[in-house]
Structure 1
Amino acid sequence: MKRRDFFRNASLTALGASLLGPSQLVAAGNAKKRGKTAKNIIFLVSDGMSTGTLNMASLLMQRKYGRQSQWLQLYEQNLVTRALMDTASANSLVTDSAAASSSWGGGVRVPNGALNVSADGTAHKPILQKFKAAGKAVGCVTTVPITHATPAGFCVTSKSRGDQEEIALQYLPLKFDVMMGGGLEYFSKEKRKDKADVFQQFEQAGYAVVQDKNTMQALNAPAGKPVLGVFYEGGLPYSLDAAQDAAISQQVPTLAAMTQKAISQLKKNNKGFVLQVEGGKVDWAAHANDAGALLYDQIAFDEAVKVAIDFAMADKETLVIITTDHGNANPGLFSGSKTNENFDRLQQFKYTNDWILRGITRDFSAAQVIERIEAAQGIVITKDEAAAILSHYNQLDEKGIYNPYKLPFKPLALIQSAYTSIGWGAMDHSADYVELAMYGPGSELLPPFVKNIALHQLMLTAAGISKA
């Protein structure tokens, strides 16, 4: 073939691919013969996971535990089909979690802030409702409120992701088989603005309601009995902080434990199941530039990945999808004379920046700030650096999402960079193409590059559902 003909044909192929819709992209990406139907699907989302987060968490695991992350082991062993995914929303190159989850849930790009509702008001049926109608058991588990954007995008429609009290009520008649996470304030009559006892409404509707780890682990509900587990107000505590607090460890299950319990409940359905698993606090930590929170919650997510992969390897009928909805903050480990030594400090971290800053008051001395950070993370900052942090407590005014007390996360992260060699691009979402991996039946449908909306039809096709 002549060189100019090669490039002409390549250009025509690229143009054709750009004109394909989501279902056609799935077909076009199917270079292999279609395999067996997926009886089950487990869709794992590390919310807000930039590539640097994936990389650094695996490096930390290698240096601290002597093993690669489960996710990257799958790459090393060539066990998954891998792709890059475009994450844009209908109105922005940079998506939020609501629009991102809606792209998978409804198969259509919607504006940021909306859940499966287009700008013209058109509502799109969420995928878990489709799978439930097809006879499968369905559910979500997350480390943030169960009413939050990512699980909600698989479940309901709403013009506003922020209406979480209403989203909790939308879940009630759906009777999804397992819903677990945080968000106590959207179910408790003591916390809700309307004082409605939503926990009681779920119990009266036939749900098994659990609010602590031990009760969850002991649960063995019969097939068809829906389960609601709500374990904490707001998001669940960061994994690093929870490990140091016996009361939290007794109350709150890990993401891996919730995933294990959800699978054990959902697999009772002989038609199979679809489960979404979200490491939601990865995103919150990225917004705060909180390295300890970020990497240890990514490791906790990786433990849930292992639960899903172990099940799928034994089951042989389960499609596992592992990805993120968007990047966030674009952290990275950067070169310097002490990069290894600095990064290894993360191995000794006991608490997050969130824990450190919540415990400081304007009455602290610089020496007390130094002592608190050293006890939490083994880092000894200077007196001037401590004074710089304290200066923000005269008027707490830092802006940013998931920072209700306006704590100085950014100044602390900038100081820590000299001690950890971790740098940050920003404190918000990015437009990066993101990692996407699939294991099991249906993974052969994945092309090397895909728009987020294509996953909606891919999941239905993989499960053998043509009409939903």
Structure 2
Amino acid sequence: MDRRKFFKYGSLATVGATMLSPIEIFGKEVDFINKGGTAKNIIMLISDGMSTGTLNMADLYLNRKTGKGSNWMQLYKDNRVSRALMDTASASSIVTDSAAASSAFGGGFRVKNGSLNISPEGKPNMPIWQKFKKAGKKAGCVTTVTITHATPAGFCVCNDSRNSQPEIAEEYLKQGFDVLLGGGDQYFNSEKREDKKNVYKDYENKGYKVVKSRNQLQNAPDNKPLLGVFDHDALPYTVDRNSSKELQEQMPTLAEMAQKAIDCMKSNPKGFVLQIEGGKVDWAAHANDISGLIYDQVAFDEAVKVAIDFAEKDKNTLVIITTDHGNANPGVIYGKNANDGFDSIQNYTHTNEYLLNQIHAEDSTSKIKDLIQQVNGISLTDEDATHIQSYYSGLEKGEEGLYNYKKLPFKTYSEIQRKYNSVGWISMDHSADYVELAMFGPGSENLKPFIKNTDIHYLMLESAGVENKF
């Protein structure tokens, strides 16, 4: 169906009005009259690059460590959400990237990988957060990667390239989004931008409170628009943050950023929309980095609790919990030591990224073995230690990868870890999986068991009673 006709010929008389007649959605007529009311607020949580195995392992991890599983899975167990599988394809491939995936949510149409809300014919599709701003709602994004990264950007702006992050930082200000929290100092700081623009100053001149630390975030006023940028690039992985007092003091958690964003926008009479991204889940999957993956998925799950707790009290908030695509498809592999192997991840103190960056060409195999014993509790063989050392001495070619700028031996080390932690991976890149999606609150009753990623755009507008006239 023509998605623009979805609302153009609908029966909404004004923004926020109640529907009076059935509307075609997902190929069927659905009567929305008195079906759960209208969502004043929408919170959409996206664990970027979360294969189903990632969701599964985070729940297993928490169950075996604490005796209590994840907040997301508990919603399933308690039958408190509508649940669906979602097709994540882009206009150019059955395997999407994050820009096209977010644009499907944001613009309501599939676009080519790499672009943000620009159709294959070059036509811009207005992003949904702009539509909600025009409807009088406040709008914000929080993420553990750069705030200008593909997933938040897809809800907010149009651009031919997801890599135009300096431009995206300025475009957010033009659109007047109310809360922006994440990393990416290099795109705002005059000393780091190529054009030497002081984008922080531009935000301050428009009335934004700019914060750069966890303490500043916690003490920021709730009655001003807020820009929080906490690191040069993405924020640190959760497991690395947990092992550093300095990082804990400097860096907010995703749950803390989510709570602050809600506090800043919840008093708006016409409500708010908020996108919350666990972006480092995707980066960890690209690196086959199991501690990075599980601990950041758990951190995302804590943000899920923040959103659900608010929605339960508010009664007028739709919460959407999903991912944009699978990545690397990890899982616990069968074997007599599967339980003990998987449980050993509880003792990991750092990511593989941290560990492999500690190794240098001049290090002996015994020093490498000591380091890995300290970080992972693994008694590495001499053969495996020599294999790892060969990457640093130039004997082995450095490994390629999307976020592997130093060409560290991520794949090699994850294959070594598998012998000890029972976790296997199919690749180091995105996959075409159908993914999990859950909805809680007004509008969730309209979710069908199987949808396309673009359908989320129209479900959000429909649930909020906002006409698609822009």
TM range (shorter): over 0.9
Asked whether 1:424 is paired with 2:425, we answer yes
The alignment-based identity, stated in percent, is 56
Asked whether 1:25 is paired with 2:21, we answer no
Match of 1:9 in 2: none
Match of 2:441 in 1: 440
Q: How does 1:157-196 map to 2 (within 5 A)?
A: 157-196=158-197
Match of 1:462 in 2: 463
Q: For the Cα contact (< 8 Å) 2:222–2:263, is it kept in 1?
A: no
Q: Residue 25 of structure 1 aligns to which amino acid in structure 2?
A: I
Match of 2:210 in 1: 209
Cα separation, 1, equivalents of 2:3 and 2:154: 21
Measured after TM superposition, the shift of residue 246 of structure 1 is 1.2
What's the TM-score, normalizing by structure 1?
0.94
Match of 2:416 in 1: 415
Give CA deviations for 1:345-365 in whole Å, capped at 9, x if unaligned: 011111110110111111111
Structure 1, unmatched stretches of 5+, are: 1-18
Match of 1:61 in 2: 62
Match of 1:373 in 2: 372
Give CA deviations for 1:114-162 in whole Å, capped at 9, x if unaligned: 0000122100100000000100010000000000000000000000001
Measured after TM superposition, the shift of residue 202 of structure 1 is 1.0
Measured after TM superposition, the shift of residue 379 of structure 1 is 1.4
Closer, same or farther: CA 134–20 of 1 in aligned 2, 3 Å: closer
Q: Residue 387 of structure 1 aligns to which amino acid in structure 2?
A: T
Give CA deviations for 1:305-359 in whole Å, capped at 9, x if unaligned: 0000011011110000000000000001011010001001011111110110111
Give CA deviations for 1:416-445 in whole Å, capped at 9, x if unaligned: 000000000000000000000000000011
Closer, same or farther: CA 301–87 of 1 in aligned 2, 3 Å: same
Cα separation, 2, equivalents of 1:28 and 1:235: 42
Measured after TM superposition, the shift of residue 175 of structure 1 is 1.5
Corresponding residue SS for 1:376: helix
Closer, same or farther: CA 312–92 of 1 in aligned 2, 3 Å: same
Closer, same or farther: CA 313–29 of 1 in aligned 2, 3 Å: farther
Q: Which deviates the most, 190-199 or 98-107?
A: 190-199
Q: For the Cα contact (< 8 Å) 1:104–1:456, is it kept in 2?
A: yes
Match of 1:153 in 2: 154
Cα separation, 2, equivalents of 1:424 and 1:271: 45
What's the TM-score, normalizing by structure 2?
0.93
Measured after TM superposition, the shift of residue 26 of structure 1 is 5.0
Q: How does 1:54-453 map to 2 (within 5 A)?
A: 54-222=55-223, 225-395=224-394, 397-453=398-454
Q: Residue 28 of structure 1 aligns to which amino acid in structure 2?
A: K
CA RMSD, 1 decimal = 1.4
Q: Which deviates the most, 167-176 or 407-416?
A: 167-176
Measured after TM superposition, the shift of residue 20 of structure 1 is 8.6
Cα separation, 2, equivalents of 1:309 and 1:290: 29
Give CA deviations for 1:182-216 in whole Å, capped at 9, x if unaligned: 01110111211222111111111211100000010
Cα separation, 2, equivalents of 1:175 and 1:326: 29
Cα separation, 2, equivalents of 1:233 and 1:445: 41
Give CA deviations for 1:36-63 in whole Å, capped at 9, x if unaligned: 0000000000000000000000000001
Match of 2:17 in 1: none
Q: Residue 195 of structure 1 aligns to which amino acid in structure 2?
A: K
Q: Which deviates the most, 390-399 or 94-103?
A: 390-399
Match of 1:8 in 2: none
Measured after TM superposition, the shift of residue 28 of structure 1 is 3.1
Cα separation, 2, equivalents of 1:193 and 1:404: 20
Give CA deviations for 1:356-402 in whole Å, capped at 9, x if unaligned: 01111111111111111111111121111011011011236210001
Corresponding residue SS for 2:419: helix
Q: For the Cα contact (< 8 Å) 1:87–1:433, is it kept in 2?
A: yes
Q: Which deviates the most, 19-28 or 406-415?
A: 19-28
Q: Residue 447 of structure 2 aligns to which amino acid in structure 1?
A: L
Q: Residue 146 of structure 1 aligns to which amino acid in structure 2?
A: I
Measured after TM superposition, the shift of residue 31 of structure 1 is 7.8
Q: For the Cα contact (< 8 Å) 2:3–2:108, is it kept in 1?
A: no
Cα separation, 2, equivalents of 1:337 and 1:143: 36
Q: For the Cα contact (< 8 Å) 1:70–1:303, is it kept in 2?
A: yes
Cα separation, 1, equivalents of 2:109 and 2:185: 30
Give CA deviations for 1:45-93 in whole Å, capped at 9, x if unaligned: 0000000000000000001111010000000000000000000000100
Measured after TM superposition, the shift of residue 34 of structure 1 is 2.1
Cα separation, 1, equivalents of 2:194 and 2:382: 44
Closer, same or farther: CA 77–329 of 1 in aligned 2, 3 Å: same
Q: Residue 213 of structure 2 aligns to which amino acid in structure 1?
A: D
Measured after TM superposition, the shift of residue 221 of structure 1 is 3.3
Q: For the Cα contact (< 8 Å) 1:28–1:447, is it kept in 2?
A: no
Measured after TM superposition, the shift of residue 458 of structure 1 is 0.6
Closer, same or farther: CA 192–181 of 1 in aligned 2, 3 Å: same
Q: How does 1:28-39 map to 2 (within 5 A)?
A: 28=28, 30=30, 34-39=35-40
Closer, same or farther: CA 460–27 of 1 in aligned 2, 3 Å: farther
Give the aligned length: 448
Q: For the Cα contact (< 8 Å) 1:321–1:439, is it kept in 2?
A: yes
Q: For the Cα contact (< 8 Å) 2:341–2:420, is it kept in 1?
A: yes
Cα separation, 2, equivalents of 1:277 and 1:401: 22
Q: For the Cα contact (< 8 Å) 2:97–2:113, is it kept in 1?
A: yes
Corresponding residue SS for 2:25: helix
Cα separation, 1, equivalents of 2:25 and 2:335: 44
Cα separation, 1, equivalents of 2:27 and 2:225: 35
